[in-house]
Each structure stands twice: as structure tokens, then as C-alpha cells.
Amino acid sequence: MDGFEYVLNETERVHSQLVTFLGSRRFNSYLLLGMIPNATRRIIIEIGRNQIPQDEAILELTSRMFNHALSAHLLIFRGLVVDSVVMLRAMVETNAQVVAFLRDSVAAEAWLKGKRFKPEIIRKILDGKPDLGPIYARLSAMAHANPEGRAGHVVQVPPMGTAILYGGSYQPKHMAELLSIVVDQTLLYLMAFHQHYKGRLSVENWPLMIKMGLDANADFIKWIQDLPDDLDDLREHMRNSPPLEPMRRPEAYLNMAKDVAREFEEEQHSRNLSELNWKQVG
């Protein structure tokens, strides 16, 4: 098994462990995220050709925001901490713009025509409702290659030493915290969407579903707070990881390279002969 295959296998092992650990608690994210494509589908079907530029902008940006959320979700469930944060940050940024455009049709239409909106303009439209600055700053600190971002891929595991993480790592509390942010951002979108489209789309039952989602996420966050520190789980996970194969000596790689080169030359020679014979027959 080579190094990359080993990392892939370990990352999928983390995925299995996280799915088992979170159990039914992960289904709130499934339900709420599933409402996003359903929301834009209602625009397409129920408004149809009567869409205005604002509707078009919401359709396009929602797709982008949802794909950020999906990417974050996939990465979270594979223990890829930093990469999850990068996609979460993108989700927050795009979500802020979607919510702003749900409130400002002029800005939405200008965006469709090619205008770019700097974060400070989006913040001005939102007017602190909600204030996404703190969560965005927190995610940005880890998303960039800053010293504080090392915690996502460099972990002290006493008494073993320092663990440099390649691929997913089993940090259930941290990953659960990130999942709660995905849910929180999804709820923000759903509330803004409902507020804008109620009376125009069939979303009468949404307040109940949103309330259930809010309550479930609040309970989830309380449960997370009582979880033990990830260090113990990570230490146990590493202790049970299959050992890496010893590295080959340099001359072994040289011999492998020579074998590959010889096979390539033989293949090329055979191909040239085949082409020559074909030309002669032709």
C-alpha cells in the first residue's frame, strides 16, 4: 500500500467512526440542507416565467451556497478539519450575499448585470441582522495559513509527541461543532427565504420545520459542550491505526523507475512495429 492509498483508507475509517458516533444527530443537517434545493425548485415551478431579476440572482447564488455547504458536510464527516473550515467560510460569505439580495432587489439585479459587491457593502445591506462578522473572522483565522490554523493539522499527542495529520483525523467534538455551524447557516438561509417568499410560494409549513431545526440544533450544541476533549479520542484513534509500511531504500525506487522506463520503451517499440506493418499492408 502506498502513502496516498493509506491516507485514503484512514480518511474513510474516520468517516465510518464519525457516522457511528453522531448517529441520528446528523439527520437534522440532512433535513434542513435538503430544503434548499426544494426552495429554489419552487421558484422555478411556481413562479416560472414570471421571475424577476432578483429571483434569478437568488437561484444562482443559492446553488453556489448549497455546494459550499455540501462540500463542508462531506469534509466534516471525513475529519478534514482545515478544509471543512475553508468551505464553511465560503458558505458564510455566499450566504450573506444571498440574504442581502433577498432584502435588496436593486443589488440583486446589479449583481446579475456584473457588479461585484465587496463584503463591506453586503454588511451594510444586512445592517447587523445578522452580524456574521464574528463567525467569519473565526473561520478566516483557520482558513488561511496562519499560526492559529495549525491546530487543524498539527496536534500534540502526549506522550507520543507531535502528530502531523495527513488526511482525515478523528476529532468528533471539533467536527460536531463545525456541523452545527453548517446547520446554523442553513437555518439563516431558510428563514430569510421564507420571509421573502411567503405568500408567493408554497412555504406555509416552513415556520414549523425551521422551529424544529432550531430546537434540534440548540440541543445538539448543548450535547457538544458536554463532550470530552478530542485529544483522548485522537490518541486512541492513532493507537489503533495500522502501521505504515517501512520506506523503501532509495535504490529500490531507482530500480522501480528503471523497470517502468524499460516497459515503456518496449511498449513504444511494439507500437511502432504495429504501425509500420499496418502501413505496409495498407
Read off the pLDDT of each residue in 204-228 and give the average, rounded to a whole number: 96
Least confident of 153-157, 190-194, 247-251: 247-251
> 106, exposed or middle or buried, with CB in 10 Å at 0-12, 13-18, 19+?
exposed
For residues 105 and 51, the answer to whether their CB atoms sit within 8 Å is no
Least confident of 50-59, 84-93, 247-256: 247-256
At residue 253, the pLDDT reads 60
Residue at grid coordinates 522506463: 261
For residues 91 and 189, the answer to whether their CB atoms sit within 8 Å is no
> 120, exposed or middle or buried, with CB in 10 Å at 0-12, 13-18, 19+?
exposed
Read off the pLDDT of each residue in 149-161 and give the average, rounded to a whole number: 76
Share of the chain above pLDDT 90, in %: 66
For residues 51 and 43, the answer to whether their CB atoms sit within 8 Å is yes
At residue 230, the pLDDT reads 82
Q: Which of 104, 62, 76 is nearest to 15 (CA)?
A: 76
Q: Tell if the pTM clears 0.85, that is, is over it.
A: no
Residue at grid coordinates 464527516: 77
Residue 256 vs residues 248, 252, 253, 264: alpha-carbon distances, Å = 11, 6, 5, 12
For residues 158 and 3, the answer to whether their CB atoms sit within 8 Å is no
Separation CA 275–CA 282 (nearest Å): 10
Separation CA 237–CA 170 (nearest Å): 7
The structural domains of the chain, with segments of one domain joined by +, span 3-239, 250-282
Those residues with Cβ within 8 angstroms of residue 277's Cβ, 6 or more apart along the chain or in another chain? none
For residues 172 and 76, the answer to whether their CB atoms sit within 8 Å is no
At residue 57, the pLDDT reads 97
At residue 246, the pLDDT reads 65
Report the helix count and the strand count for the chain, using DSSP H and E: 11, 2
The two most distant CA atoms of the chain are separated, in Å, by 79
Amino acid identity at 132: L
Separation CA 189–CA 98 (nearest Å): 8
DSSP state of 227: S
Q: Would you call 19 helix, strand, or coil by DSSP?
A: helix
pLDDT of 151 strictly over 90: no
| Neighbouring C-beta atoms of residue 256, cutoff 10 Å | 11
Residue at grid coordinates 517502468: 260
